[in-house]
Amino acid sequence: MLGVNYFAIIVVFLLLAFLTSALRILREYERGVIFMLGRFYRVKGPGLILVIPVLQQMVRVDLRTVVMDVPTQDVISRDNVSVQVNAVIYFRVIDPERAIIQVENYLEATSQLSQTTLRSVLGQHELDDMLAEREQLNADVQKILDKQTAAWGIKVANVEIKHVDLNESMVRALAKQAEAERERRAKVIHAMGEAEAAQKLAEAAKVLSAQDQAIQLRYLQTLVEIAGDKSSTLVFPVPVDILQKLKS
């Protein structure tokens, strides 16, 4: 009788040990990739799942979006300018089976792929495009990464280039270029203003030349404006044609 009790205790103990090692709890954002004797069996979760010890093994996979920094990369643009670029990518696992089976370490693989893709895409553009067309470059990198990581069961949602850093000599060169551009625009605007003013003066002269009285009135108006100055003495010429008209 005593031996039976010991046997029951041992059975209960073994059963508890089995349940402790076999029962797993997966959170809402987790999935378990189950292997049966080394072969893929199924994906389980979330919640309480049973994994048979020895026969089955489970690999946890997190389905939440991963925010990964891309280390600073040295990039040579198409116009032979050396810059340092870093970025951040947002991706998540959408197929746990492929994320575990098709690639050894999907986090490391995605990181390495993002670095090479960033250098490759930016190296095809000039420096001005890197600085001005950043949204388009983000979209290009994201599209390439998403296509290549699809085989790993990964979805790249977004890529953001954070910084494009130039060396000090290039910064000075760009500052000089910007200053020269501002001076050029100022000269162009000034020349356009002079041309427009000359055109208006030519039109005004054409209108005044058509009417002698208009010329006389304009002359007298000019005299009035001069007389309004602080000078006490005025010396001005009187056109001969005006004196002739006054005599007549």
Q: What is the mean pLDDT of residues 35-49?
A: 93
Choose between 110 and 182: higher pLDDT.
Answer: 110
Instruction: Summarize the chain as % helix, strand, coil (round to 5).
Output: 55, 25, 20
Query: pLDDT tens-digit profile of 155-166?
Result: 999 999 998 888
Nearest alpha-carbon partner for 87 in 119, 60, 45, 133: 119
DSSP string, 112-132: HHHHHHHHHHHTTS-HHHHHH
Average confidence (pLDDT) over 60-75: 94
**Is the link from the previous residue into 96 a cis peptide, with omega within 30 of 0?**
no
Q: Which pLDDT band holds residue 80 (cuts at 50, 70, 90)?
A: confident
CATH homologous superfamily, domain 66-166: Band 7 domain (3.30.479.30)
Q: What is the dihedral of CA 211, 217, 221, 227, to 10 degrees?
A: 130
| Cα dihedral value 40, 46, 49, 53, nearest 10 | 50
Please tell me the pTM assigned to this model.
Answer: 0.66
78: tokens are: 């198409």
pLDDT, tens digit (0-9, with 9 covering 90-100), for 132-141: 888 999 999 9
Domain boundaries, the chain: 17-62, 66-166, 176-247
CA 216 – CA 239 distance, rounded (Å): 9
